[in-house]
Amino acid sequence: MRCYMKSLPKNKIANIYGIAILLLILSAVLGVLLGASGISLTDMLSSLVKGDIESPEVKILLYVRLPRILSGLICGAALAVSGAVVQGVLANKLASPSIIGVNAGAGLAVILCSAFGMIGGWSLSAFAFIGAFLTVMLVSIAAKKWGASRGTVILMGVALNALLGAISDTVITFNPDVSVMSNDFKIGDFSSVTYAELIPAAVIVLITFLVLITLSNELDVLTLGDENAKGLGMNTSLMRVVFLLMSALLAGAAVSVCGLLSFVGLLVPHAVRRMAVTESKHLIPLCALFGAGFVAVCDTLARVVFAPYELPVGIIMAFLGAPFFIFILIRGKGGHRNA
Amino acid sequence: MLELKNVSAGYGESSVLKGVSTTFEKGKLTSIIGKNGCGKSTLLKSILGILPLSSGKVVVDGNNLHSMSRNEIAKKVAYLAQGKSTPDMTVEQMVLHGRFPHLSYPRRYQEADREIARKAMGVVGIYHLADKPLFTLSGGTRQNAYIAMALAQDTDYILLDEPTTYLDIAHQRELMNLLVKLANRGKGIITVMHDLPLAFNFSNTVAVIQNGTVVAHAEPSEICGSSVLDEVFGVKIERLPNDKFYYDY
């Protein structure tokens, strides 16, 4: 009997993982080292070794830079993976949490929470998730019920974004004390992040990510189309809801920490796919690694470029990300395939 | 044997299939023909359970197919839908998904699954394209990749909905030869066809559907000798001395 033995190239994927991990480590180290206060690594380490937790160096490290860099990493990973999942489930590479209104849904929920006095913790994350989930389900059901084309889904998302934004602005107009609805929140920003916001979001992101990894084949089978996936024994309706739920959990957790950070959910999955990474079992972890690294680097730049003044990270991301995104689209000779 | 016993099904209030009873055998290629909207695709979806039956049942080797779980059904019957997307994956990755129903959570393809996928690609003749992304392939080769996926699913029956659509005549013939090859290997192949000469020249049996019922199901020569095609399509199939079929428009 003829035996077919051939292995797919693994070196390339290993190299991509290597680059992603390197970017992640580099971004984390730079995030810890660099900042407006100009504290050196040796100062921080010596204070830490001495156990002098009241020293300014240790306080800056533990309560300013560490939560900030961790939130950059976590939100970057969450939004990038959320984008990859939404794109897979809707079979639409133009989709991302910010474009189809998922972030805006989470944002509205956060604003409502803030209006009612909740400024952090599990309840904020929970409401952000509910806002994100309701929005993504609305888009998904509408797309299926009316057989909307891929372009129409995006247009519905744009309309939904405008509507949710208008509702948010209305809440602010009648309740100006809602501190969360600052420009920083709209653009995306880590400057005021606290452990109270970060810890629930981190737990949600980590658990969701681990579950997603176990469902990577299901996500790939969904891209074969509804009927073919059913022919392979999949309960497609159930799986679609499960994936959208996880996508909303990730986006909601991120928005509850950093606001309406856009672009990363669109840019990172595209960039990773352009490296010929197609299987979700690699796409999801690589989106997490590159998304984390990218946002963390952008946040560090946001802190140091005009130090002691800070820019919201969303601005830096747009400055760096937009030209890069256009570059990878042009280099790929039009990102229209399957779009 | 795959049997349909008085199967009725439809979409919402409208009933498309009306009490269909017929059988499909392993080792045979059956073409289902009929006018647009007569219920050909509905018949395939009803067999698979994608579309719930309003009455009747589908029996495979003596077992009621729809009393089984989706996974169990997918181990008995493979299905390739009409409108296929071009997923962003390589040929081998897609063919491997044919093993999906054979695994349980968390589904991880093992070396045995990879070997089955490689064999399926070998049978279909696309093993040398294993690493190629699907979007780089022609429509005909991509169709073959889908068939390899169905083959890796390791079922007794494979249902195909208009597999020759969008293919040129050379690729249509190549595809039909492949289906004949799979039938000769013992698979029960049930395919919806629009091209009558193609269906008659390659199939062991032809099922003719009209208004949701099977009005004829027999060998091509028998159907050719009857008036059923004239009644359904308003055309007549002729049998040439070389045993090939053709028809005039």
Q: For A38-331, which CATH superfamily applies?
A: ABC transporter involved in vitamin B12 uptake, BtuC (1.10.3470.10)
**Which ipTM was obtained for this model?**
0.90
> Residue A173's pLDDT is what?
82
> What is the residue extent of each domain of chain B?
2-83+155-247
Of A5, A6, A223, the CB nearest to B88: A223
Top-confidence residue, B121 or A115: B121
Q: What percent of chain B has pLDDT over 90?
A: 70
Q: Which of A222, A210, A207, A245 is nearest to A102 (CA)?
A: A245
Q: How many Cβ atoms from other residues are within 10 Å of residue A146's Cβ?
A: 11
pLDDT beyond 90 at B26: yes
> Residue A263's pLDDT is what?
83
> What is the residue extent of each domain of chain A?
38-331
> Residue B148's pLDDT is what?
95
Peptide bond into B106 cis (omega under 30): yes
Chain B interface includes A147 (CB < 8 A): no
The minimum CA-CA distance between A96 and chain B, rounded to whole Å, is 17
How confident is the model over B94-113, as a mean pLDDT? Answer: 93
> Residue A293's pLDDT is what?
95
pLDDT band for B68, please (50, 70, 90 cuts). Answer: very high
- Taking only the tens place, the pLDDT of each residue in B35-62 is 998 999 999 999 999 898 999 999 999 9
Of A218, A231, A276, the CB nearest to B79: A231
Which string of DSSP letters, residue by residue, matches A202-270?
Answer: HHHHHHHHHHHHHTHHHHHHHTT-HHHHHHTT--HHHHHHHHHHHHHHHHHHHHHHH-S--SHHHHHHH
> Residue A54's pLDDT is what?
77
CB atoms A234 and B70 under 8 Å: yes
Top-confidence residue, A310 or B124: B124
pLDDT band for B92, please (50, 70, 90 cuts). Answer: very high
pLDDT beyond 50 at B241: yes
Ranges of residues in chain A whose predicted pLDDT is under 50: 1-8, 334-339
pLDDT beyond 70 at B185: yes
pLDDT beyond 90 at B191: yes
Q: How many Cβ atoms from other residues are within 10 Å of residue B136's Cβ?
A: 12
Helix, strand, coil shares of chain A as percentages rounded to 5? 75, 0, 25
Chain B interface includes A238 (CB < 8 A): no
CATH topology of domain B2-83+155-247: Rossmann fold (3.40.50)
CB atoms A234 and B108 under 8 Å: no
Q: What percent of chain B has pLDDT over 70?
A: 98
